[in-house]
Chains A and B, each alone.
Chain A
Amino acid sequence: MQDPIYLKPETLDRALDYLTEYPQATLWAGGTDLIVHLEHKKLKVSGIIDLTSIPELRFIEDCGDKVRIGALTTIYEIQTSPVIKKEFAFLAQAALVLASWQIRTLATIGGNIVTAAPSAETGCPLILLDGNIIVQSKNGERKIPTNQFFKGPGKCDLAPGEIVKEIELEKLPHGYQTIYQKERLRRSMDIALANAACVLNLDGDKCQEVRIGLGAVAPVPMRAVKTEAVLNGQVMSDELVEKAAQTAASECKPITDIRATADYRRDLIYALVKRQLTALWKAGAE
Chain B
Amino acid sequence: MQSPISSNDAAMSQAIGHGDGHGEHPDLRMLGFTLFLISEGMLFVGLFVAYLTYRAAAPAWPPAGTPELEKILPAIFTVILVASSGVIMLAERALKHGDMGQFRLFWLLTTAMGTIFVAGQAYEWMHLEFGLKDGLFGGTFYVLTGFHGMHVVIGLLLQAVVFFRSFKTNHYTPASHFGVGASSLYWHFVDVVWIFLFALLYII
Are A and B a genuine interacting pair, yes or no?
no
